[in-house]
Amino acid sequence: MNPIHTQRLENLRARMAATATDLVVIGPSSHMLYLTGVSPHGDERPVLLMVSQSFAGFLMPALNVDSARQHTDLPFFPWADAEGPDAALKDILAATGTSPIAPSIVLDETMRADFALLVIDALPGAHRRFTHDTVGYLRSRKDESEYEALKKSAILNDAAMAAGFAALREGITEREIASVIRDFYKNNGATPEFTSVCFGPNGAFPHHHTGDTQLKSGDAVLIDTGGRIGGYPSDMTRVGYFGSVPDNFAEIHAILDRAVQAAIAAARPGAKASDVDKAARDIITAAGYGPNFLHRTGHGLGIDIHETPYITATSETVLEEGMVFSIEPGIYLQGQFGLRLEEIVIIRNGQAEVLSEMKRDAVATN
C-alpha cells in the first residue's frame, strides 16, 4: 500500500478513537479514493470499505476482485452475482470486530441508499452519523502536496477563464463559450469538471443550464468554471459584460467585491464558518440586497468540488490551518442579470490565502 494511504488510515483511526466511533463504512467515492487509492468500478453491485481499529478491508463483487487487487493489499470479502452480498457482508462485519450491541458507526453520506441500508439493516441497533467529523474532517485539512495541487489547478483555471471571456462576440452561444473553456482544459492536460456560462437574465438562476442563448450588446456575462489536474479541481466565478455596461452592474459588482474582501478578512483559524458567511452577507444586506443572495457563501474544495467545510449562516465548524473553501457571494436580479464573484481560499499562516491570481474586476468585452 502507498505510504500516504497507510498514514491516512492511521489518521482515521485516531479520529475514530477521538469520536468514539467503532466502524467507518465507505462506498465507492472520493472518500474511498482518499483513504485507500482504490477507485473501483461503480455500478449497482455493493462495494464497501470497512475500517475499525483492528481491521480495514473491502466487501467487493467477485468479478472485480482481481482488478482491484492490483491497487491495494487490503483484504477482500468477495460476493458473486448469484448469491448476493449478504453472506460476505456478515463475514466482513465479523472481521471488523464490531459489537452488534449499539455500535457507533459512520456512513459515507454519498453512497447509494441501497448500500447504506445493507449496513443499517445488518446493524439495527447502531448509532449512525455521516463522515463530517471523521473522514470529512481529515480531508478538510489539506497537506502541503494538496495545497500545491490546488494552487496549480487554480492557476490553470485563471487562464481557462480568460480564454472564455476572450472568445465572447456578438451572437455566440453560452454553449460555444463553454466549449472553448472545456477545450482549453483538455489542451492543457486537465479534465473539464463543470462550466456554467450565463448571458443576460440567465445569470439570475444560480444553477442555470448553459444553453443556446446568444450574446448581445448590453448583456451581463457570468462564467463559473472548474477543471481538474493532478487529481485536484478548481472552481472560480468571474463576471463581465459585452458592449455596453448594463444598468446597476457596476454597483452590484462593487458590493460583491466588498463582500468577498470582508469574508476573506473574517476567514482565520479559530473563526467559525458562519462568521465568514456573516461577513459577506452583512455587506450585501446593508446594501439592500440581502433577499437576492440566495445561497450559502461557500463550500469546501478538495478531491470533491463540494466537500467539508460548508460556509453557511448556521455552521459551527471552526476553521483550521489547511482548510480550503470557496467564498462566492452572489446577487440575483430576476429578469435582469445575476452576478457572483468566487474565490477559493486556503487557511494558511493564520489567514486566508486566495489561490487564483486573476483580478475580480468586471471583464469588459466588445
**Interaction site with its own copies (CB under 8 A):** 27, 41, 43-44, 62-64, 66-67, 80-84, 107-117, 128, 130, 204-209, 294-296, 306, 312-314, 334
Cβ atoms of 362 and 239 within 8 Å: the answer is yes
State the nearest-atom distance from the C-beta of 294 to its own copies, in Å: 4
- As beta bridge partners, residue 224 has 196, 237
Q: Report the amino acid identity of residue 138.
A: L
The DSSP code for 160 is H
Which residue, 175 or 348, has its beta carbon nearer to its own copies? Answer: 175
State the nearest-atom distance from the C-beta of 283 to its own copies, in Å: 16
State the nearest-atom distance from the C-beta of 350 to its own copies, in Å: 28
Distance CA 285, CA 98 (A): 50
Which residue, 219 or 277, has its beta carbon nearer to its own copies? Answer: 277
Which residue, 9 or 119, has its beta carbon nearer to its own copies? Answer: 119
Q: Is the dihedral of CA 28, 33, 35, 37 positive or negative?
A: positive
Angle between helices 174-187 and 144-166 (to 10 degrees): 140
Which residue, 55 or 130, has its beta carbon nearer to its own copies? Answer: 130
Of all helices (H) and strands (E), which one includes residue 345? Answer: strand 343-348
Which residue, 73 or 207, has its beta carbon nearer to its own copies? Answer: 207
Which residue, 130 or 147, has its beta carbon nearer to its own copies? Answer: 130
State the nearest-atom distance from the C-beta of 109 to its own copies, in Å: 4
Distance CA 34, CA 129 (A): 19
State the nearest-atom distance from the C-beta of 193 to its own copies, in Å: 12
User: What's the number of CA atoms in the CB half-sphere (13 Å) around residue 201?
Assistant: 3
Which residue, 19 or 334, has its beta carbon nearer to its own copies? Answer: 334
- As beta bridge partners, residue 50 has 25, 57
Which residue, 41 or 90, has its beta carbon nearer to its own copies? Answer: 41
State the nearest-atom distance from the C-beta of 23 to its own copies, in Å: 15
State the nearest-atom distance from the C-beta of 7 to its own copies, in Å: 25
Distance CA 311, CA 350 (A): 18
Spatial CB neighbours of 251, under 8 Å, sequence gap ≥ 6: none
Which residue, 53 or 188, has its beta carbon nearer to its own copies? Answer: 188
Task: Count CB atoms within 10 A of the CB of residue 178.
Answer: 20
Distance CA 64, CA 143 (A): 32
State the nearest-atom distance from the C-beta of 148 to its own copies, in Å: 26
State the nearest-atom distance from the C-beta of 115 to its own copies, in Å: 7
Spatial CB neighbours of 317, under 8 Å, sequence gap ≥ 6: 272, 273, 308, 309, 310
- As beta bridge partners, residue 7 has none
Closest by CA to 322, choosing from 156, 136, 139, is 139
State the nearest-atom distance from the C-beta of 63 to its own copies, in Å: 4
Distance CA 363, CA 366 (A): 10
Which residue, 68 or 319, has its beta carbon nearer to its own copies? Answer: 68
Q: Nine-digit cell at 269?
A: 483559524
Distance CA 341, CA 328 (A): 5
**At which residue does the C-alpha cell 454519498 appear?**
110
